Structure 1
Amino acid sequence: MNIRIQQQIHRLGGRTTAGPEACLREVLQHTVFPHPLYPKSYADNFFGLDEFYRQHRELYARSPDDFYAALLHHFFSDHQLPYGQDFFRNFLFTPFTAGTPDYGELDGLVSPEELRTIVAGEPLEFMCIAYSYGFPDHYFVCLHDPTPENPSVYGTDHEAFFQEITPVGTLEDFFSRYLTPEEFLSIVRHQLERTYAEQ
């Protein structure tokens, strides 16, 4: 995995304990995020922000710094509240590898031949790296992608899991879609000050 991706992981608040010579699977398996990931499109809707402000408006009036610290802690805690965020989860999915727990799970739904028309890499073994409440709601990489230093990311949805697949760019592109906690706080602060400063 290239150094820029590891830098993105750290920039977004994640960490990886994989060594410098680790393969793609090892890097992903040893990467964790202690909080959700907010896409840059969060600025289009600001899910949950009005409710948080209403519940903490007295703190906002008394101490904006404490308010923003509480806000950041709330939104970047490991919760499942539907705020338009994605959740990094790294689980193996090996439906075509005999002897693995997932073997045969896609039988009758999609064949390896069908997947190979979209997904590059052999054997077809996957790491699901994130899920969300949107569409698609699962993202994955092929662990044997021909460009392991920056593999392709694909999206699929639980309603047609691996039957409908959409390429979404490289792993570097994927991580660049998200806001750092500092970027998140900056756009939220601007939104709140613009909306509530005169109230």
Structure 2
Amino acid sequence: MKQEILERIKELGGNIDNVKGTSLQEVLQAIEFKQPLYPHELWGTELYGIDEYYAKNKTLYSENKESFYLNLIKHFFSEQENPYGQMFYRGTLFTPYKKGTADYDEWNDIFTDDDEVDLSEIYTVSQNKQPDLINLLFSNGFPDNLYICLSDNNPDNPTVFGTDHEEFFSEISNEGTLSEFLEQFYTKDEFLKIVTNYIENEKTDK
């Protein structure tokens, strides 16, 4: 995987210290996130949860703004799963074609049925007709699961695919290369800048 992608993951709060292997699977499974990721599209236009957080902490805001914003960042970038439009890193194997795995037992009948599954979008980046995948992220938004094909023709910068639990692999979206995909998320500093501007300059019910 490209070093600049790993550096971007680090910027977004990911831990890449354990990335030692060279295979795409080894790299993706070694990455760790102890915080959610906030995408521009799902969160940036609505600022989910900010008004609620302010209402619960307006006394602190009036007494100590610095502590208010520090606590806000800790809250939104914690492991809690309040539905704020965020995504959560998984990095777990999904192997519906590999005999002897739990995924095979649960999903193989579906994944061998052309009426249930359409992997044509994935085949644009892989010649493997029965690929292993990495479940990269999940979210409360749409699509709620993001995957990378481990036999991607470009393992240095693989393509990210999205699918939703309601149309699980019967409809797949191309979310762009991993480097492109990671640009849609806010760093903590970017997140704080947007929130601060909203509360200080746009919020009318303070």
The equivalent residue for 2:101 is: 100
In 1, Cα distance between the equivalents of 2:97 and 2:112?
Answer: 9
Q: Is the 8 A contact 2:118 2:171 kept in 1?
A: no
Q: Read off the aligned partner of 1:71 and give its amino acid letter.
A: L
Residues 144-153 or 187-196, more deviating: 187-196
Q: Which moved more, 1:60-69 or 1:156-165?
A: 156-165
Which shifted more, 31-40 or 119-128? Answer: 119-128
How far apart are the structure 1 equivalents of 2:99 and 2:118? 17
**Structure 2 match to 1:117:** 120
- In the TM superposition, what is the alpha-carbon distance from 1:118 to its structure 2 partner? 1.5
Pairing 1:148–2:151 present:
no
Q: Counterparts of 2:165 and 2:96 in 1: how far apart (Å)?
A: 15
1:43 offset after TM fit, Å?
Answer: 2.1
Cα shift readout 1:145-167 (whole Å, capped 9, x = no counterpart): 01000001000011121121111
Structure 1, 106-115 or 50-59: larger mean CA deviation: 106-115
Moved more, 152-161 or 115-124: 115-124
Gap runs ≥5 in structure 1: none
Instruction: Summarize deviations over 1:153-192 as a string: whole Å, max 9, x none.
Output: 0000111211211111011111111000010000000000
Q: Does 1:10 align with 2:16?
A: no
Root-mean-square deviation (Å): 1.8
Counterpart pick for 1:136 among 137, 143, 158? 143
- Decide whether the 8 Å contact of 1:37 with 1:86 is kept in 2: yes
Q: Which amino acid aligns with 2:39?
A: P
Q: Aligned pair in 2 of structure 1 residues 110, 56: CA closer, same or farther (>3 Å)?
A: same
Deviation at 1:112, TM superposition (A): 8.1
Count how many residue pairs are aligned between Structure 1 and Structure 2: 198
Q: Aligned match of 1:183 in 166, 185, 190?
A: 190
Give 1:60's aligned residue.
61
* Residues in 2 aligned to 1:166 and 1:190: alpha-carbon distance in whole angstroms: 33
Q: Contact 1:141–1:152 (CA<8 Å) still a contact in 2?
A: yes
CA drift at 1:132? 0.8
Structure 1 contact 36–85 (Cα < 8 Å) conserved:
yes
Partner of 2:32: 32
Residue equivalent to 1:159: 166
* Map 1:42-57 → 2, pairs under 5 A: 42-57=43-58
1:117 deviates by 2.1
Aligned-partner SS, 2:141: coil
Identity of aligned residues (%): 38
Structure 2, unaligned runs of 5 or more:
none
Residues 25-72 of structure 1: CA deviation (Å, up to 9, x unaligned):
011101111111001232200100001001111111111110000000
Distance 1:128 1:10, change over 3 A: same
